[in-house]
């Protein structure tokens, strides 16, 4: 009975993960179509990053499904093995808290004095600034990311909400602390590319610090996952 429960748990998590990937990919495409032409190049890069993430996670799901099919055919499967696979899938989906080495990116609005006629918005951190940081970290193979305690998963949004930014439907405001677990050297090099996001923000006086850490703790995604319209596609459909 415990083995059957574990088997069903893995199947459910695999299905949820697959639908999450499809939703995130579609949302990114829609945003690309709706925004001005001048941002098309940046968003194209962001879309490619999401595509890479999607492909990597699809590979994880495919591998898991093959193991499940093999276990189903043989009729024998270890409960501990199924639990291990379930935990691995939950970690990939961002549903488990994780710990490890990586980067801490801290940024705050510019303290630079406005010149006559200048738009104050150019010295503030916007949702697209946070999004670019997150996407650079993803492109550098970050294994887990959070922004002000909000875990970034396939369904996370980063968008403007008045003076605040919405992440996982929660309002966050500066200063922003972005944690990323992964290869700290690779991630820092990506962020500090000449003409890249860090250099651009520093040009406008945004207070941004990039620091390495050997022991970061990133929380699990805390929001419920519910699908009202999406349903799993059975094999052969």
pLDDT digits (tens, 9 = 90+) for 129-164: 999 999 999 999 999 999 999 999 988 999 998 888
Residues 77 and 13 in one domain: yes
Count how many domains the chain has.
Answer: 2
Residues 145 and 65 in one domain: no
Residues 174 and 209 in one domain: yes
The predicted pLDDT at position 146 comes to 96
Residues 78 and 102 in one domain: no
Give the angle 63-64-67 at the CA atoms, nearest 5°.
Answer: 90
Mean pLDDT to the nearest integer, 67-76: 66
Better-scored residue on pLDDT, 30 or 105 = 105
Burial of 21 (C-beta count, 10 Å sphere; 0-12/13-18/19+): buried
| Helix-helix angle 40-74:2-34, to 10 degrees | 160
Radius of gyration of the chain (CA): 20
Range(s) of the domain holding residue 48: 2-93
Residues 148 and 120 in one domain: yes
Residue 87 counted as domain residue = yes
Q: What CA–CA distance (Å, rounded) separates 165 from 183?
A: 27
Residues 82 and 103 in one domain: no
The predicted pLDDT at position 38 comes to 47
Residues 119 and 183 in one domain: yes
Q: What CA–CA distance (Å, rounded) separates 50 from 25?
A: 7
Residues 88 and 112 in one domain: no
């Amino acid at each position: 009975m415990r083995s059957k429960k574990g088997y069903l748990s893995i199947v459910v998590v695999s299905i949820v993960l697959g639908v999450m990937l499809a939703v995130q990919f579609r949302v990114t495409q829609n945003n690309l179509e709706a925004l001005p032409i001048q941002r098309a190049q940046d968003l194209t890069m962001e879309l490619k990053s999401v595509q890479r993430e999607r492909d990597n996670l699809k590979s994880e799901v495919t591998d898991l499904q093959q193991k499940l099919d093999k276990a189903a055919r043989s009729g024998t499967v270890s409960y501990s093995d199924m639990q291990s696979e379930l935990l691995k899938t939950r970690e990939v989906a961002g549903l488990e808290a994780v710990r490890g080495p990586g980067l801490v990116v801290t940024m705050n609005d510019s303290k630079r004095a406005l010149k006559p006629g200048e738009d104050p918005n150019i010295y503030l951190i916007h949702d697209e600034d946070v999004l670019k940081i997150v996407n650079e970290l993803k492109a550098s193979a970050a294994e887990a990311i959070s922004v002000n305690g909000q875990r970034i998963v396939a369904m996370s949004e980063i968008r403007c909400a008045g003076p605040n930014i919405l992440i996982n439907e929660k309002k966050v405001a500066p200063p922003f602390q972005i944690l990323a677990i992964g290869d700290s050297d690779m991630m820092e090099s990506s962020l500090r590319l000449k003409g890249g996001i860090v250099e651009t923000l520093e040009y406008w006086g945004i207070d941004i610090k990039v620091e390495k850490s050997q022991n970061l703790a990133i929380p699990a995604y805390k929001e419920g996952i519910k699908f009202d319209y999406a349903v799993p596609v059975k094999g052969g459909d």
